Amino acid sequence: MDTRPPEPPPLQLATTAECREALETLYHFLDGELTDTRRGEIQRHLDECSPCLEAFDFEAELKIVVARHCRDRVPERLRMRVVMALTEASKEDLASE
């Protein structure tokens, strides 16, 4: 019945439904496609939620880098940041058990 292809998971930093929603909205946020109200909501969530802020920071940086390098390659330094962020997040997951 359900023939939709599986969606790639968003950044694993997302821990709650609110976080997931915030991260999904990040792309629109970065593209400036959001209303001021929506933007304010996301901004507020980012202020309170460091995992999301990390992700936002990363996405923003990635977008700038990609634009600058004509979507050619992701710099190693940036790649390392993702790996580190994900490692950090899973550590926090274990610690909060």
Binding site residues, Zn ion, CB under 5 A? 19, 49, 52
Shortest distance, CB of residue 68 to Zn ion, whole angstroms? Answer: 27
| Closer Cβ to Zn ion, 41 or 62, answer by number | 41
Shortest distance, CB of residue 18 to Zn ion, whole angstroms? Answer: 6
> Rounded to an integer, what distance in angstroms lies between the CA atom of residue 78 and that of residue 84?
10
Look up residue 54 and give its two tokens: 């990390």
| Closer Cβ to Zn ion, 49 or 85, answer by number | 49
| Closer Cβ to Zn ion, 16 or 87, answer by number | 16
Q: What is the b/e burial string over 2-28, where b = at least 16 CB atoms within 10 angstroms of the residue's CB?
A: eeeeeeeebbebbeeeebbbbbebbee
CB 22 within 8 A of CB 54: no
Shortest distance, CB of residue 55 to Zn ion, whole angstroms? Answer: 8
